[in-house]
Amino acid sequence: MKKFKLLLFIFFPLISLAQKPKIKYLDFDGKEISYSQFNQIQSKGILVGQNDDGTIYRLIKEREKSGKINDYKELVNSLNNSLSTNLDFKKPLFVYYYPGPDATNISKNPTPNGSQIFKDETDVFENKFKETIDGQTLFLYKKESKNVYSNHKYMPWKKDPNNEIEKRFFSEYHYQYASFVVIFPNGDYNAYLGEFSYDYVFDYVKNWKKKNKSK
């Protein structure tokens, strides 16, 4: 009997340690709601932000961010030093930011030749971005996946150095799928959180050029 009690004493703490952490689901205002409530709202195409360990999921209402940084030249020089790139601080920079694998960007049944298709679409975008505003591009990731990694066959993926871009523009949550930021030489920037179309970039470019035309 004593031996049985001793085994129970050892076994139950192990069960307690092995229990999975509670997952919290938050509404737009950060208030906790049930999974069913969360799923009902999210199913309408609402963006989800999650923390790194997957224990907090929040509904995101505002997907666009804009502002100004005062050290664009220093940022570009830092990226060049860390990544061995040749970015020009006199030109706009588009950064495609991949936070890591999640439920939306990892498919159990990936599209055949998906990487090649993405590369072809990106080539078209890069050419247009350069022609429209003499822009340059950078493709960064935080965590690798089976589709995103250094020395990729099709895409020039590079690891976000010291999480620099994340800390500046995407620090609050892991926004599912991917995000982007376009930074202009005067420090103005526009960021879009979550899955996007390259067409959005040109909307920001058009607005920026219009805004700065009279200056």
**Is residue 125 domain-shared with residue 174, that is, in the same domain?**
yes
* Integer Cα distance of 192 and 197 in angstroms: 10
Task: Supply the pLDDT for residue 214.
Answer: 54
Q: What percent of the chain has pLDDT over 90?
A: 74
Last residue of a domain, one of 31, 60, 89: 60
CATH number of the domain at 151, please: 3.40.30.10
**Is residue 56 domain-shared with residue 68, that is, in the same domain?**
no
Task: Supply the pLDDT for residue 151.
Answer: 84
Angle between helices 114-133 and 199-213 (to 10 degrees): 10
Task: Supply the pLDDT for residue 8.
Answer: 45
**Is residue 184 domain-shared with residue 124, that is, in the same domain?**
yes
When divided into structural domains, the chain yields a total of 2
Residue 201 structural domain: 64-213
**Is residue 122 domain-shared with residue 86, that is, in the same domain?**
yes
Task: Supply the pLDDT for residue 104.
Answer: 82
Task: Supply the pLDDT for residue 85.
Answer: 97
**Is residue 53 domain-shared with residue 101, that is, in the same domain?**
no
pLDDT per position as a tens digit, 82-99: 999 999 999 999 999 999
* Integer Cα distance of 193 and 48 in angstroms: 10
**Is residue 140 domain-shared with residue 51, that is, in the same domain?**
no
**Is residue 121 domain-shared with residue 136, that is, in the same domain?**
yes
**Is residue 79 domain-shared with residue 185, that is, in the same domain?**
yes
**Is residue 33 domain-shared with residue 104, that is, in the same domain?**
no
pLDDT per position as a tens digit, 104-127: 877 655 667 878 899 999 999 999
**Is residue 100 domain-shared with residue 186, that is, in the same domain?**
yes
**Is residue 40 domain-shared with residue 126, that is, in the same domain?**
no
**Is residue 95 domain-shared with residue 184, that is, in the same domain?**
yes
Last residue of a domain, one of 60, 88, 104: 60
Last residue of a domain, one of 60, 78, 108: 60
Bin 199: left if φ > 0, else alpha if -120 < ψ < 50, else beta: alpha
Q: Which residues of the chain have pLDDT under 50?
A: 4-10, 14-17
Task: Supply the pLDDT for residue 153.
Answer: 86
